[in-house]
Chain A
Amino acid sequence: MEGRPSMTVLRSVHRRSLVAAVLAAGLLAGCAGSPSFLEPSSMIASRQAALFRLLLVPSAAVFLLVEGWLIFNVVRFRRRSSDQGLAPQVHGHPALEITWTVLPILLVTALFVLTVGTINAIAAPAGSPQDIRVHVIGHRWWWEFEYPDLHILTANELHVPANAVVQIQVDSVDVIHSFWVPQLSGKVDAIPGQTNELWFRADQPGEYYGQCSEYCGLNHANMRVTVIVDTPQDFDAWVENQQAPPPQPDGELAQKGHDLITQGICSNCHILGLEVPDESHQPSPAEAAGVRSHVGPNLNHLLSRSMIAGETIELTEANLASWLTQNQVMKPGNDMVVNLTDEDVAALMAYLKTLK
């Protein structure tokens, strides 16, 4: 009991220093655990973080100058009862006025030079055959990832190997979205009818959080992305798994589920695996133009992902089964509007859970 008061004091001191530490960490060092570019994992984000920290120096100087002068004015020139007569009627001082016009011009010129330098430093390198190429397509409200060289089509979880240049093309099939994984690179808008480019090279394996950052309607908050940076070995294993065609259904129930997906109501929006084009494959005009008929994610290898619903709900069998009937509660307003019977759900689950 006796220890209580001192504990409280200690705790409050501790809390105060904690607040100061959080402030300092948040502003200067980045905050561990946050998807922040101040905690960078690529050269691009590192350069952006360094530039931002550098900006804080002249900003702090100007801040201190102006607020300091303001406070000085209030303290020093506040009218006192002893004040006699009028203040000296000074109308201006041309030399001073020129000074505080010219100095800021010099300052912003310096900032502009830094800006140009960083833009050049983080510009995309020339393409090389070793690059991982990804086509990122924004949908309401999920991200689709197509690897044109690897014949992989997946959603919401982007796998890339560490220390490889990832060249990304970004566009959208509906409204404007913005692709942003702060620790890896800045954002670039996904604009219907326009293809934008982005690149990064992740420094080390890990999982990086991002989310759509251009308001795109009801589920803008639920349009998230995880970039999973693998070791080269893990990435190769992932690619090999993703390239496998969908498994044959095992048993009658699974067959029914499979048929719902490929021919039934699910096929209105979803696809199951990509047809690997052979040498003789002639793309249809629609395919060549990049027009997609599917509006939902590729279901093949669904269980290789860890989340569903735009990376907002953990992918467990229970959640997946709930999603089939309760998705309008779990992600209100999403485009999946279906009425499935219990038998349908059982059949779908029997097949879906084999899509590792």
Chain B
Amino acid sequence: MSTHSAALTRAEAFSQSRLGSWIMTVDHKRIGILYMGTAFAYFIVGGAFALLMRLQLAQPNGTVLSNADYDQVFTMHGTTMIFLVVMPFWAGLGNYLVPLMIGARDMAFPKLNALSYWLFLAGGLFMYSSFAFGGAPDAGWFSYAPLTEKIFSRGLGMDFWALSILILGISTTLGSINFIVTVAQLRAPGMTYDRIPVFVWMMVVTSFLAVFSLPSLTAAASLLLLDRQVGTHFYLGGQGGNALLWQHLFWFFGHPEVYILILPAFGIVSEVVPVFSGKPLFGYKVVVLSGMVIGLLGFTVWAHHMFATGMPVLSLLFFSADSFLIGVPTGVKIFAWLGTMTGGRIRLQTPMLFAIGHVALFLLGGLSGIHLAVVPVDWQLTDTYYVVGHIHYVLFGGAIFGLFAGLYYWMPKITGRTLSEGWGKVHFWLMFIGMNLVFFPMHILGLLGMPRRIYRYDVGHGWDTWNLLMTVGAFIVALSIVVFAVNFLLAWRQRPAAADDPWDAFTLEWATSSPPPPHNFDRLPEVRSARPLWDRKHPQQADWRREESPAV
């Protein structure tokens, strides 16, 4: 008995120590910070991989990396950015904000929440430990079979990859269920479904996408492990298996995944643009609905990644038509943001700059996406740099610009410290210019016939100049991240003195202190519309008055 209670006391003492309080925490805010901090560390590593690639490709027949190294570097760049940076960053930001934005005390399952984080950390570290065991995965972030089979990939890299993906999948699934239940059950009184902030809505849609698409990835990775470790032939064509099975299973996850990566950024922009325009979101219901439609359609377009695999014409037409259709709800969102700005009083502070950057850049990703839905054009452009340019306008221009819009916006709330506007603007312009220099020429290179994933290319194809320019752009982006880091460290040295509501915002998280107390709210404001804080600040022009007597 005495040893038992001694152990308990030790555990208690540990959980009150500085380190222990973070390790043992089940507070959604601390877990959110852990998620975001870890994701940012992986972001630095993934970015370093990108710089290595750009050094190798700066000139024809580059010799910075061997072909074996290059293959690991591009695989780990993509895998890291998607599974270890953007997804967990959204999980972290969502963790921090969803309970605050709906006026809840915490997530529905706090311990499960902690487990999600530690599984994410473990999955990532496990993936990276492959470098110490004879080589990292080297089959690209979508790891097409049968290249990943034992006979073609003899090291342990792909086993590490598949196992990590399974661990990360469990983490994301648990986290997603937690978000869904939290929003369904823990909303503040008055927070009906048509008053939930758009960011929260997008986290819900994202969570549903993850819950329904991850099983396909789990199946794909499990079958791959069976093939590699037990000697089954699921992906070995001609031996009873089917090489394309992987692609169907992977992309049935992989396309919803793109929306998992981008919808939370849409949510952030839908929060930031109204606040900095001093107006409500133009067409709240349509924006939320279009997010859901994007999510649903996202499940029906996976084979547009496979137009060159020899599909029957009818399938080509179905997946082409569906992919075109996704452009419609996406366009609706863009127009809604533009409509929100029109007639507003726009404050061009850093969060707004990044949100505007998101709109300006994501548009290009959307347009090139439409180009790739045009099957005969896709037959030329798929697996070229055109596609690489497309995904980076979506994921860097869309997701990463959205991410920084959110970081600058919620930094005062999360840390009590405000990032410098001056450095923030330098960060924005360097990143905006750098990303266009590195990613726009990718479209031209794709049109000029340069395939993706090649570790070298010859002179004489007209590819040299564009590649050099892209390398310069990549280092400008890297410089912008250094500026951000400096900005962050400078802010960190301040005393936490941010106002509770520094941006004159609309939603509940700004109704508590910066940073919030462990229990989140001393007293919840009344929720009678989608903008409870606006209502409190402007009782004569409260949104609920309009809802009661619809005049506009």
Contact = CB atoms under 8 A, between A and B. Distances in A.
B299 interface: no
A114 B370 CA distance: 13
Interface string B66-109: 11100100000000000000000000000000000000000000
- Interface bin, chain A: 35 or more
Interface stretch (A83-91, A158-166, A293-301): A83-91
A105 interface: yes
A91 B552 contact: yes
Contact of A55 (B336, B342, B374, B375): B374
A215 B285 CA distance: 43
Interface in A196-220: 196-197, 209, 211-220
Contact of A178 (B280, B283, B308): B308
A118 interface: yes
B71 A217 contact: yes
Contact of A90 (B152, B463, B552): B552
Nearest to B283: A92
Nearest to B348: A78
A92 B282 contact: yes
B376 A48 contact: yes
B460 interface: yes
A192 B317 CA distance: 25
Interface string A54-96: 0100010011001101100110011100010011111111001
A169 to B, nearest CB: 11
A214 B143 CA distance: 11
A37 B380 contact: yes
Interface string A12-52: 00000000001100110011011111100000010110011
Contacts of A333: 67-68
A35 B448 contact: yes
Interface string B256-283: 0000000000000000000001111011
A97 B332 contact: yes
Interface string B331-343: 1101110110111
Contact of B449 (A35, A70, A73): A35
A196 B378 CA distance: 17
Contacts of B370: 55, 59, 108, 111
A304 interface: no
Given A92-B283, A105-B328, A333-B67, A215 B277 contact: no
B45 interface: no
Interface string B316-350: 11001100110110011011101101111111100
Given A52-B377, A59-B370, A83-B345, A108 B325 contact: yes
B339 A108 contact: no
Interface in A157-198: 174-176, 178, 180, 182, 185-189, 191-194, 196-197
A332 B68 contact: yes
Given A77-B344, A96-B339, A178-B308, A187 B382 contact: yes
B364 A63 contact: yes
Contacts of B243: 176, 191-194
Contacts of B454: 211, 220-221
B462 A33 contact: yes
Contacts of A108: 324-325, 327-328, 370
A127 B306 CA distance: 26
A90 B281 CA distance: 8
In the complex, the 7 A-B pairs of residues with the closest C-beta atoms, listed nearest first? A193-B237, A186-B379, A196-B310, A221-B454, A35-B449, A108-B324, A92-B283
22 contacts: A34-B448, A35-B449, A67-B363, A73-B338, A86-B278, A86-B538, A89-B280, A89-B541, A89-B543, A91-B543, A92-B284, A96-B339, A112-B321, A185-B379, A187-B379, A189-B310, A192-B146, A192-B238, A193-B236, A209-B449, A211-B454, A218-B68
